[in-house]
């Protein structure tokens, strides 16, 4: 697909210049037309077209550079932006990210129109980026590529002194107005004065301050608030007059209302490009979501590690399970937490401790919580082992809590025996690590309908944990035998407990784990997983404690077909 011969740097530089010259020529045509007294509306459309074409041609230069570098290098590997600089005339306008072994890459280029285009090592035709896309191939998280591109300039009314920017995660619509607030304005827009008469309630002037505003990453957005009275804070009514949301390449409008005692950001349905469009949308009748979660899948189990077995007997040698890869994978899917498997005695100095520490740190750096995941079925007979493991896990990384996965029923115990044993294990762990650290557990749905001596096994266990992942390994949400129906008894008990919970689903190859294909999304693929997860969220979103869907597990999820 790509040429393997080394391409002279001069030729590659010319490719980029040609793209820039194309845009310059088209702008020149427009200027000449205006000077000549003939202004055609079609000409105005030519300039954005030329700018977009320039961005696409920049990607062509990147592909040539990758071909040259791969053919000339000893490792025959694709490279990232910083390693292609010798071939590119102006690498600041593009972003390239290759995977660890250099076998593939993703490149993006942002046009002056703010449109973004991308190519991959397997798809050389430029594709227009649509916001919300987080995975363009199985190569690298697209969010990492977008993060390297220049910011998009946006416009919004308000005083630079009192306009507040608030950063929150993209999958959490409930952003308190005082969360990380900084006073900052946005770029001026002359079009604002043309619409002031139609909106006399707006008194704050346009202020030309920072030329661009850009969220910290593709999993975040910036929210600009102005109360219309040039005051640091105003009434709820005024506060809802103007709200702008800046993502990597789009601007949206919304409104703020009081919801559950907290000001929350409501639905953001409309893209805003001009001051007039923003002001026209100010009076839109928007409805706050009944759930503050912005997506269905919120967490995952991450079993295994990248430590080589030759370096440590507890190592699994899974190349895709490096700390950075785990964090990138979770961030690209906008997860809020990850259950990270932790081997026994992880706090002992060595590669396992380093891996655990670095994984937790990488997740926290992206605003994602990390829970120490582990469990041996025999621990129910020796709770001190569970407590010892948990203490060591917390010493190896700054975890946000413990997530147990223990299945004592496989030992042949009756529910009246294993349920109290699990309760004792959880209590022993809490006593060892301290009451402030959450102790959570995976609980299969059928514990809610299994008698444990006058009450269900789930009733016995729930008072001793802080939250649960209700495991319902089924490959469809609706209908008889679907996730929603099967989970109902457990959901009722979780709601009554008042504790947070998620619904766990499976993606593993059924042959690998010796289960029927109806218990996993392996055959259905990623699209079906997302579709069914959304159905689960819709069914349970108004039930107390529901947080979303947890996926089992990272490696199998990553291998699902689209």
In a domain, 41, yes or no: yes
In a domain, 424, yes or no: no
Q: How distant, in Å, are the alpha carbons of 95, 140, 327 from that of 143? A: 11, 9, 12
171 and 141, same structural domain? no
- Comparing 228 with 81, the larger pLDDT belongs to 81
Q: At residue 308, does pLDDT exceed 90?
A: yes
8-state DSSP, 451: B
37 and 100, same structural domain? yes
Greatest mean pLDDT among 93-107, 119-133, 324-338, 515-529 lies in: 515-529
170 and 119, same structural domain? no
401-404/337-341 β-pairing: unpaired
In a domain, 403, yes or no: no
540 and 512, same structural domain? yes
Using alpha carbons, select from 336, 345, 303, 338 the residue that is nearest to residue 320.
Answer: 303
Q: How distant, in Å, are the alpha carbons of 109, 169, 241, 304 from that of 309? A: 41, 37, 59, 12
Q: Which domain holds residue 83?
A: 9-146
- Comparing 293 with 77, the larger pLDDT belongs to 77
pLDDT of residue 335: 87
In tens, the pLDDT along 82-138 reads 787 667 766 667 889 888 888 999 999 877 666 788 999 989 899 987 655 666 677
User: Among 78-87, 275-284, 343-352, 514-523, where is mean pLDDT lowest?
Assistant: 275-284
Mean pLDDT, residues 233-261: 37
Q: How far apart are CA 252 and CA 175, in angstroms?
A: 15
pLDDT of residue 113: 66
In a domain, 15, yes or no: yes
- Comparing 86 with 443, the larger pLDDT belongs to 443
Residue 245 near residue 251, CB atoms below 8 Å: yes
Domains identified in the chain, total number = 3
Q: How far apart are CA 184 and CA 163, in angstroms?
A: 5
138 and 15, same structural domain? yes
242 and 211, same structural domain? yes
Average pLDDT taken over every residue of the chain: 72
- Domain's final residue, options 116, 146, 176: 146
Reply yes or no: is the peptide bond before residue 553 cis, omega within 30 of 0: yes
pLDDT of residue 134: 60
Helix (H) or strand (E) segment spanning residue 272: none
pLDDT of residue 332: 76
Tokens of 485: 């129906």
Residue 358 near residue 323, CB atoms below 8 Å: yes
Q: At residue 512, does pLDDT exceed 80?
A: yes
8-state DSSP, 31: H
Mean pLDDT, residues 378-395: 98
Using alpha carbons, select from 527, 524, 520 the residue that is nearest to residue 551.
Answer: 520
Beta-strand runs (E) in 217-296: 220-226, 242-246, 251-253, 256-259, 262-265, 270-271
194 and 142, same structural domain? no
In a domain, 406, yes or no: no
8-state DSSP, 128: E
123-128/116-120 β-pairing: antiparallel
100 and 45, same structural domain? yes
204 and 119, same structural domain? no
Q: How many Cβ atoms from other residues are within 10 Å of residue 257's Cβ?
A: 16
- Domain's final residue, options 282, 305, 332: 282
171 and 111, same structural domain? no
Residue 507 near residue 520, CB atoms below 8 Å: yes
Residue with tokens 């115990």: 413
pLDDT of residue 235: 29
193 and 138, same structural domain? no
Q: How far apart are CA 75 and CA 67, in angstroms?
A: 13
Beta-strand runs (E) in 432-543: 439-444, 467-471, 501-506
Mean pLDDT, residues 463-482: 97
Q: At residue 177, does pLDDT exceed 60?
A: no
Tokens of 339: 């259950």
- Domain's final residue, options 282, 314, 330: 282
- Comparing 163 with 416, the larger pLDDT belongs to 416
Residue with tokens 């926290």: 364
In a domain, 503, yes or no: yes
Residue 22 near residue 57, CB atoms below 8 Å: yes
pLDDT of residue 203: 31
Give SS3 for 469: strand
User: Among 145-159, 166-180, 254-268, where is mean pLDDT lowest?
Assistant: 166-180
Residue 300 near residue 373, CB atoms below 8 Å: no
pLDDT of residue 385: 98
In a domain, 465, yes or no: no
In a domain, 129, yes or no: yes
- Chain centroid to Cα 307, Å, comes to 25
Alpha helices by DSSP H, 133-274: 142-146, 236-239
User: Among 202-216, 330-344, 488-502, 515-529, where is mean pLDDT lowest?
Assistant: 202-216
133 and 222, same structural domain? no
Alpha helices by DSSP H, 264-399: 275-282, 323-332, 351-365, 383-396
pLDDT of residue 386: 98
- Chain centroid to Cα 175, Å, comes to 16
Q: How far apart are CA 303 and CA 374, in angstroms?
A: 9
Ramachandran class of 149: left when φ > 0, alpha when ψ lies in -120 to 50, beta otherwise: beta
């Amino acid at each position: 697909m790509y040429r393997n011969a080394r391409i002279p740097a001069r030729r590659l530089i010319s490719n980029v210049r040609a793209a820039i010259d194309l845009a310059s020529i088209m702008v020149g045509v427009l200027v000449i037309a205006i000077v000549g007294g003939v202004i055609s509306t079609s000409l105005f459309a030519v300039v954005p077209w030329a700018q977009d074409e320039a961005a696409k041609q920049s990607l062509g230069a990147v592909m040539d550079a990758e071909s040259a570098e791969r053919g000339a290098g000893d490792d025959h590997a694709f490279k990232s932006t910083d390693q292609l600089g010798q071939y590119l005339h102006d690498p600041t306008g593009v972003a390239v990210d290759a995977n660890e072994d250099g076998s593939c890459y993703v490149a993006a280029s942002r046009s002056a129109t703010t449109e973004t285009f991308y190519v991959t090592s397997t798809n050389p035709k430029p594709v227009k980026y649509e916001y919300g896309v987080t995975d363009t191939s199985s190569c690298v998280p697209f969010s990492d590529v977008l993060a390297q591109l220049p910011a998009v300039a946006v416009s919004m009314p308000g005083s630079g002194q009192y306009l507040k920017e608030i950063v929150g995660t993209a999958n959490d619509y409930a952003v308190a107005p005082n969360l990380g607030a900084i006073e900052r304005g946005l770029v001026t827009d002359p079009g604002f004065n043309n619409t002031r008469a139609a909106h006399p309630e707006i008194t704050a002037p346009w202020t030309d301050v920072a030329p661009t505003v850009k969220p910290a990453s593709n999993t975040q957005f910036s929210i600009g608030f102005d109360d219309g009275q040039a005051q640091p804070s105003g009434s709820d009514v005024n506060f809802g007059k103007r709200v702008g949301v800046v993502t990597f390449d789009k601007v949206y409008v919304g409104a703020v209302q009081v919801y559950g005692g907290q000001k929350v950001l409501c639905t953001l349905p409309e893209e805003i490009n001009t001051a007039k469009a923003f002001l026209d949308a100010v009076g839109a009748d928007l409805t706050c979501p009944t759930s503050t979660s912005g997506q269905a899948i919120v967490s995952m189990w991450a079993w295994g590690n990248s430590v080589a077995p030759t370096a440590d007997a507890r190592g699994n040698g899974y190349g895709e399970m490096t700390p950075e890869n785990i964090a990138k994978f979770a961030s690209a899917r906008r997860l809020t937490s990850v259950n990270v498997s932790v081997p026994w005695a992880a706090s002992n100095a060595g590669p396992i401790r380093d891996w655990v520490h670095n994984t937790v740190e990488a997740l926290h750096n992206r605003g994602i919580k990390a829970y120490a995941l582990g469990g041996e079925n025999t621990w129910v007979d020796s709770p001190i082992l569970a407590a010892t493991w948990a203490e060591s896990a917390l010493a190896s990384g700054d975890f946000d809590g413990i997530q147990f996965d223990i299945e004592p029923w496989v030992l042949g115990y009756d529910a009246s025996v294993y349920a109290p044993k699990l309760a004792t294990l959880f209590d022993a762990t809490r006593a060892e690590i301290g009451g402030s650290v959450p102790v959570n557990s995976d609980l299969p749905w059928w514990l809610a309908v299994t008698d444990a001596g006058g009450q269900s096994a789930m009733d016995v266990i729930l008072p001793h944990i802080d939250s649960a992942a209700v495991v319902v390994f089924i490959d469809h949400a609706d209908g008889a035998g679907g996730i929603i129906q099967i989970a109902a008894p457990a959901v009722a008990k979780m709601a009554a407990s008042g504790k947070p919970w998620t619904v766990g689903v499976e993606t593993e190859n059924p042959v690998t784990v010796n289960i029927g294909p109806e218990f996993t999304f392996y055959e259905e693929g990623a699209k079906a997983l997302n579709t069914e997860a959304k159905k689960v969220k819709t069914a349970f979103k108004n039930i107390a404690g529901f947080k979303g869907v947890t996926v089992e597990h990272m490696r199998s999820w990553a291998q699902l077909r689209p």
